[in-house]
Amino acid sequence: QVQLVESGGGLVQPGGSLRLSCAVSGSFVSSYSMGWYRQPPGKQRELVAVITSGGVRNYADSVKGRFTISRDNAKNTVYLQMNSLKAEDTAVYYCTTGTTYYSDYVPRYWGQGTQVTVSS
C-alpha cells in the first residue's frame, strides 16, 4: 500500500523559507514521477512542481525560481524547498506519486497535506 506523509508546514513571514518533506512508503521515489500540489483557501488544487523518474523538473510559473523540488532516494523522501514566500503561497500542500507522459503529470496517490501559511 502506497502511503505519503507530508511534514514541514507552518507559519512563515513573507520573504521567508520553508522546506516540505514527503516520506513515501510502499513505493520508491526514484521509480516514479513525484508532484507537489497546493490548494489555497477557496480555490482549486493546482500543480506546483514535478520531478520525473529521470530527474526532469517542472514548475508552475507562479513558483518558478523560488521553489525547488528534489528527492533523496536513500531516504525515499521528496522535498519542496520554498524560498521568497509570498502571501499567495498560503495553501495546503499535497505530495503525490504519479506518471508523466509528454509533460503531462497524472497523480495516482496523495498524501494528507500540510498547511503552509505566509503572513505577517
Give per-residue pLDDT as tens, 54-102. Answer: 999 999 999 999 999 999 999 999 999 999 999 999 999 999 999 998 8
Strands 77-82 and 104-110: unpaired
Q: What mean pLDDT do residues 35-41 have?
A: 97
17 pLDDT exceeds 90? yes
Specify the pLDDT at position 31: 87
Confidence of residue 30 (pLDDT cuts 50, 70, 90): confident
Please give the average per-residue pLDDT across 42-53, as a whole number: 96
Percent of the chain residues topping a pLDDT of 90: 90
Report the share of the chain in percent with pLDDT over 70.
100
Going by the DSSP 8-state scheme, the letter that residue 89 receives in this structure is: G
Distance CA 41, CA 27 (A): 30
The long-range contacts involving 104-109, CB below 8 angstroms and separated by at least 24 positions, are 105/33, 105/35, 105/47, 105/50, 105/58, 107/35, 107/37, 108/2, 109/2, 109/3, 109/4, 109/27
pLDDT at 15 > cutoff 90: yes
